[in-house]
Amino acid sequence: MSETETYEQSDDHSSSTEVEEQRRPRKGGKGGHHKREEPTSLVELQACPMAVTCFQYMSCYDFCERISRIQHHRELARLFVLHLHDGHVTLAGVNFTLTPEVISQATGIPNVGEVWPKRRLLDFVHFEPYVRPPFVRLLTGVFPFRFLRSEYAPIMRLIMHYFTCEGRFSQVYSYHIRLLMHFTRVRMMNIPVFLFHNIQRMVPMLQKKTPAQQYRSLCHYGLIQLIVSHQLTQQGISWEEFISREFFTVPPQPHHEVIHEEGGPSQQPDAPVTRHVSSTPLVTYQKGPRALFAAARRVLSPQQVEGVSPSSSTQRVLSPHQVEGASLSSPAQVL
């Protein structure tokens, strides 16, 4: 399979999952609620030293910290996406802009690297360093999460939490591996452009759905709130004054809504009382240039992510047990 771009029908997981779904019977009964919000705590991230180091090195840890300082405003995210047109949004009389540059400013993530569309397929040779050897021969464009090597599973789950936000963790797609390649310094990717396209892709999808369905399809709540807060600060408008405007005073949809498969029970909880989040997201920025990649290209192990030798540019995958003093003169291999 080559790195060509394919265009499936409907959403990103539609046609690519059809083959997988045909191989196993669909379970009846209840469906689960997909948690699409980014984490508002750093506990899980800080419990994975490899993810902390990789996120810091790729200038993404500050984004996670900013997310942890806010409380998601679901109605704001829904209205932002519904009113988005040609990169512009007007909410409660305030104009906002959505571009990769704005996302970079609001998140602190550099707007550099290879632009990688979510639907582009990645050659299987790039999957192999991250997959357990017994499952390499079973690889397809979509494979079960359990195929991943145990050392890469925690950082992959965090990538799904912060950067894809589908709320599903059972399957791995090409773009997940592409993101993992970025954070393990194999091949740089433009994260602001990736996030920009993710938000844009939600617009036609939400316009065809009811409000209850819209909440189940929304994602990137924290990212949208950072974008709004950043531009409010630029315009001299406080978060409290903006979010208290009558424009946002509407009955919210149930937060923890239980979704059922067709033919299953349909009991739904009553809608809670309207709440408004008044906390102001804190925005800080790192200053000064920094190198985004070491000279050598390799996939880093959980125990060692720094100390790349500049003597070679050969791609190499290091194991968790052997990272110090490794020679980089041999071809790409897994130790």
Model pLDDT for residues 144-153, shown as the tens digit of each residue: 999 999 999 9
In the chain, the percentage of residues whose pLDDT exceeds 90 is 51
pTM higher than 0.75: no
| Residue 149 structure tokens | 């090597």
Section 26-47 average pLDDT: 69
pLDDT of residue 248: 81
Place of tokens 């512009």: 88
Least confident residue range of 10-14, 143-147, 197-201, 318-322: 10-14
**Alpha carbon distance, N-terminus to C-terminus of the chain:** 25
Of the pLDDT bands very low, low, confident and very high (cuts 50, 70, 90), residue 213 is confident
| Structure confidence at residue 11 (pLDDT) | 42
Whether residue 307 has pLDDT greater than 90: no
The two three-digit tokens of residue 33, written as one number: 């609620």
Residues 221/199, Cβ–Cβ less than 8 Å: no
In whole angstroms, give the CA distance from residue 172 to residue 253.
30
Per-residue pLDDT at 274 exceeds 70? no
Sign of CA dihedral 91, 96, 100, 106: negative
Of residues 255 and 112, more confidence is placed in 112
Mean pLDDT rounded to a whole number for the chain? 76
Scored b (16 or more CB within 10 A) or e, 240-279 reads: eebbeeeebeeebbeeeeeeeeeeeeeeeeeeeeeeebee
Q: What is the mean pLDDT of residues 229-241?
A: 95
- How many residues are listed for the chain in this entry? 335
Tokens of 92: 């409660």
Query: What mean pLDDT is predicted for residues 256-279?
Result: 43
What's the pLDDT at 35? 63
